[in-house]
Amino acid sequence: MGEKLKEILKDGALAADIDLTDSQLDKFEKFYEHLIEKNKVMNLTAITDERDVVYKHFIDSIALIKKINFDGKKVIDVGTGAGFPGIPLAIVTDNAEFVLMDSLNKRIKFLNEVIEICDLKNVTTIHARAEELGRDTEYREKFDYCVSRAVANMSTLLEYCIPFVRVGGVFVSYKSGDVTEEIELSKNAQKQLFCRIKDVIGFSIPNTDISRSFVVFEKKKELNKKYPRQGGKPKKSPL
């Protein structure tokens, strides 16, 4: 089973112009095995087939390194769930520091096991709600990069994520398909949160018909103390 996963991953990553080392392939394999094992007793992912996990989770997560260089940077993954995109990014960029956060403690416990099993020295986790952690001075405006996939609509997501990013830092939202309308609807959030779009990078996951966009926001100024709003407001009444 292992060789098959590694072969699919090695080939798929090469198609995305990423040459994975044997040590990285070993880590991905251990991650996959633990994901599938734990998925039997808890809800981690609807995708379990080897090829699907490789393309829809692993390659989708790491494709960003061809666009953004995380070397030496501090990165937070907001709403990481079963570790996407944070764990794959951390496997391929072992000289960057990753913090994975999620509001569901079961998933955080799973991720702590993955960190142990895969011997990931550059990853820590935190169980928290984004709108609360973003007010904590240990985390607020402390990251060069924030990444997030499949967590909320763009306005809500900006209020969750921009607080973590230092001035001059960047938030990358992994979105599927056409993002024009979502970007348009987040104009007020961008204004209130002093960020603006730096780039919208389209890409297709190789050997699939799946297209994605990375929406890249740059933070221009220190945030107003009133953000992020408490009590579920970023989701209930997006800016």
Ligand X SMILES: C[S@@+](CC[C@H](N)C(=O)[O-])C[C@H]1O[C@@H](n2cnc3c(N)ncnc32)[C@H](O)[C@@H]1O
Site residues, ligand X (CB under 6 A): 79-82, 84, 102-104, 107, 129-131, 149-151, 160
- Rounded least distance, CB 46 to ligand X, Å: 10
State which residue, 72 or 232, has the beta carbon closest to ligand X. 232
- Our CB check for ligand X shows the closer of 109 and 196 to be 109
Q: Which residue is nearest to ligand X (CB)?
A: 81
CB 152 → ligand X: shortest distance, Å? 6
Residue 34 has, within 13 A of its CA and on its CB side, a CA count of 20
Find, among 75, 95, 94, the residue nearest to 85 by Cα: 75
Nearer to ligand X, 14 or 78 (CB): 78
Long-range interactions of 20-24: CB distance < 8 A, separation 24+: 20/92, 24/91, 24/92
Cβ of residue 108: shortest distance to ligand X, in angstroms? 9
Beta-carbon contacts of 162 under 8 Å, excluding residues fewer than 6 positions away, are 146, 171, 193, 194, 195, 217, 219, 223, 227
The answer on whether 84 is annotated among ligand-binding residues is: yes
Q: Of 3 and 41, which has the nearer Cβ to ligand X?
A: 41
- Contact between 93 and 71 under an 8 Å Cβ cutoff? The reply is yes
In whole angstroms, what is the distance from residue 47 CA to residue 53 CA?
6
Q: 54: Cβ–Cβ under 8 A, 6 or more apart, which residues?
A: 5, 8, 9, 12
Is 164 marked as a binding-site residue? no
- Which residues, in sequence order, are CB contacts of 238 under 8 Å at separation 6+? 153, 155, 156, 159, 189
Q: Which is nearer to ligand X, 90 or 221 (CB)?
A: 90
φ and ψ at residue 133, rounded to 5 degrees: -60, -30
| Nearest distance, CB of residue 187 and ligand X, angstroms | 22
149 is in an annotated binding site: yes
Strands 165-176 and 143-149: parallel
CB of residue 15 to ligand X, shortest distance in Å: 21
Binding-site residues for S-adenosyl-L-methionine: 79, 84, 130-131, 149
Task: List binding-site positions.
Answer: 79, 84, 130-131, 149
